[in-house]
Each structure stands twice: as structure tokens, then as C-alpha cells.
Structure 1
Amino acid sequence: MSVPLSSKEQSLFKQVVQLYESKQYKRGIKTADQVLKKVPNHGDTQAMKALILNSQGKTEEAFDLAKLALKNAMKSNVCWHVYGLLYRSVKNYDEAIKAYKFALRLDPDSRQIQRDLSLLQAQTRDWKGLI
């Protein structure tokens, strides 16, 4: 798992997720930077920042940050899920599926990861994996 956050940083992290989902990328980056200023090695925040950077077209920088996030939080389902999303965005579906499967091993109950994995398996016609 990632380094534990104080309640203030946890709140900011949740805000980063909401800002990403509402496509407010600049504010998301600023908020992620606030968390990373206090806890520089927080893998989940690094992963979310990588996802935002990717949405801004900064794919190479996003992958570098996602790899750093994985290094800092190897057992974080968030980091692995983001890594899969990044690979999916560059159409490397095999690597995306591997990352999703690893994320699912860490959090078997995550509907979001299950959905992303099943959609990608259907898209790549991996019927065995889908069933």
C-alpha cells in the first residue's frame, strides 16, 4: 500500500480523484502537488497525477510518473489500475490487461477494475478471459 496520509491529505487525494473525473485537470494537478509536497512518495497520488498528465497529452511523462508510483506502492490497486489505463490509452491492450489483472488480485471486489478488464477482454475478443 501507499504511505498513509493524514486526514487533510486524504481529503485532498479524494479531491484529486473528483477533479480528474470532472475533467478539471489543472486544479487536479495543483491539488496532487499539494499532497505530494507533504508526502512526496505517495504512490496513489503519483498515479492519479500520471492519469491527469496523460489526459493532457503528456503520455511519456505520465508513464514515468506511473512507474515511480508503482515503485513507491507496489501493492496498490490504484497504481496498477492507473498503469492499465495508461497502457489502454496507447492501445497496448495486452499490457493493460496484465495490469488490470494484477490490480484485481489486490482488490478482487473492485467493480471499476472488473468493468475495465471485462470491457478490454471483450474488445480484444479474449472470450476465455472474459468468461
Structure 2
Amino acid sequence: MRVQTFPRAQILQEFHFQCQALAASNNRGFKQEFEDLSEVGKELTTRAGDSEANREKNRYPFILPYDHCRVRLSVQNSHPHTDYINANFVPRDFICTQGPLHNTTIDFWRMVWEQNVRIIVMVTSLREKEIVRKMFPASANA
């Protein structure tokens, strides 16, 4: 079976046209695609994220990692539930996670270390509920 390939310029042009179509009418197409995602993954289990011991580690109580592909941290001092962070492997090469909470910052950096993460990309706004979030803690000299 032969795979059909397309020139890069053609792919970029079609992507540009698709984005323009989705952005038409006040981004109606993007909004519809986002709404269509609401059913994705409904049949997958999220027991670890929904457990009482881990609920406070979730930024949003309705966005939980799937059990079958969640990132598992090393267990610390034989304490159960220390392996949990709200993060999933996507497919194998990427990790998607929520921004760390004050009480999960250490877990976030432990995940970065344990998974040998080399690049971190933030794809969200720095503003949450009218609060501007800082990327890095203010220095003592600021």
C-alpha cells in the first residue's frame, strides 16, 4: 500500500483555509469543534483522579487523567497516593497536564525530573478568574 504525500506548501495552504473557515462568524467553527470534544473519552475510567485522596491535587474536578495512560510518579516513603499527578501520556511522546497548584508544584517538578522532560510548553492564558498568574516565583530582590 502506497501512502500519498503532499507538498508542504499545499498542506500549509489547506491548513490556513481550514483555520479561516473555522474562524468565520466569530470563531463559530472552533467553538463547535470544542463542543464536539465533550463526548471524547467519556467511556474511559478516571478512578485515580477521582479518589478522595487525590481530589485536592486536581485543578479542575471535572478534568481528570485517564487511568490507562496517566503519568505515575514514584511512590514516596511507601505512602500510597504519592504516585498521583493529574497528567496523561499522549500517545507516548508527550505529557499533558494542568498547571500545578500550590500543593502540587513539587509533584510537577518531580514528574519533569522522573520523566526526563526536556521541553515544557504552556498552552493556556496567564489569566485565571481575573487573576494574572506568574510564570516563575518572584525573586527575593524584586
User: TM bucket by the smaller chain?
Assistant: 0.3 to 0.5
Structure with bigger RCO (C-alpha 8 Å, 6+ apart): 1
> What TM-score, normalized by structure 2, do the two folds share?
0.31
Larger radius of gyration between Structure 1 and Structure 2: 2
- Higher share of residues assigned strand: 2
- Higher share of residues assigned helix: 1
